[in-house]
């Protein structure tokens, strides 16, 4: 029963993340790093479906993880690898609201909050987002470069590409989201009141 609850919670978290992608990140062309950022850029350049891009990147990273990293690490990414792109596809038909001015700033802040909380909850549930996030683990294993540093560099490159294709203002918005995301993931992971099952955390 506990395991089923975990998967239900994960499904709900990924659903919120998919809505955030389709309603805010993609229409505003906000490149926030990771697989989502890659999907926004390649969707713009190649006109491929974002869900297909996410699935291809996730599966590729899953295969690499299987042959190079610990099996526990790979197993933790399997669910999000397939569930997230499916949910992105299923929610892609929902029309996004076109806004400008101060409303864009509010959406950017909302997107950062959602990215941070959902990202933290995925880790807290014992899963991993997979995709591009596998690369820092590989770099640490083979080049002894800390995960935090390589994650910063990889996401920085993706955000920089976003600035090149979508402009500096979109880049500033993306940086705001990344900062909010990083802060809130840390907060969610350090939250000790109650875990997802309602029991006290030690």
Q: 198: Cβ–Cβ under 8 A, 6 or more apart, which residues?
A: none
Measure the CA dihedral 32/183/132/169, to 10°. Answer: 10
Contact 30, 165 (CB under 8 A): no
**Would you state the pLDDT for residue 192?**
62
pLDDT for the residue numbered 197: 44
Name the pTM for this structure. Answer: 0.86
Q: CA 40, CA 138: separation in Å to the nearest integer?
A: 24
202 or 148: which leads in pLDDT: 148
Tell me which of 135 and 192 has the higher pLDDT: 135
Region label for 119, one of left (φ > 0), alpha (ψ between -120 and 50) or beta (otherwise): alpha
pLDDT at 144 (0 to 100): 87
Q: Which residues of 104-119 are buried (b: 16+ CB within 10 A; e: fewer)?
A: beebbeebbbbbbbbb
Quote the pLDDT of residue 14.
Answer: 95
- The mean per-residue pLDDT over the stretch 150-159 comes to 90
Average pLDDT of the residues of the chain: 87
pLDDT band at 138 (very low <50, low <70, confident <90, very high): confident
The sign one gets for the Cα dihedral 32, 33, 39, 42 is positive
Residue 198 pLDDT class (50, 70, 90 cuts): very low
Per-residue pLDDT at 1: 66
Q: HSE on the CB side for 178, CA within 13 Å? A: 24
Residue 196 has pLDDT above 80, yes or no: no
């Amino acid at each position: 029963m506990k395991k089923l609850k975990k998967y239900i919670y994960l499904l709900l978290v990924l659903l919120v993340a998919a809505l955030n992608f389709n309603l805010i990140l993609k229409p505003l062309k906000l490149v926030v790093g990771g697989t989502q950022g890659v999907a926004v850029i390649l969707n713009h350049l190649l006109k491929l479906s974002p869900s297909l891009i996410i699935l291809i990147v996730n599966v590729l990273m899953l295969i690499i993880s299987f042959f190079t990293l610990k099996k526990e690490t790979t197993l933790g990414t399997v669910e999000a690898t397939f569930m997230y792109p499916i949910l992105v596809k299923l929610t892609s038909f929902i029309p996004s609201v076109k806004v400008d001015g101060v409303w864009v700033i509010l959406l950017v802040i909302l997107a950062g909050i959602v990215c941070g909380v959902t990202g933290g909850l995925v880790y807290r549930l014992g899963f991993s987002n997979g995709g591009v996030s596998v690369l820092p683990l590989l770099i640490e294993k083979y080049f002894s470069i800390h995960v935090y540093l390589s994650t910063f560099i990889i996401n920085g490159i993706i955000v920089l590409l976003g600035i090149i294709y979508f402009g500096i203002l979109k880049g500033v918005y993306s940086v705001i989201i990344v900062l909010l995301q990083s802060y809130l993931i840390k907060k969610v992971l350090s939250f000790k009141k109650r875990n997802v099952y309602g029991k006290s955390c030690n």
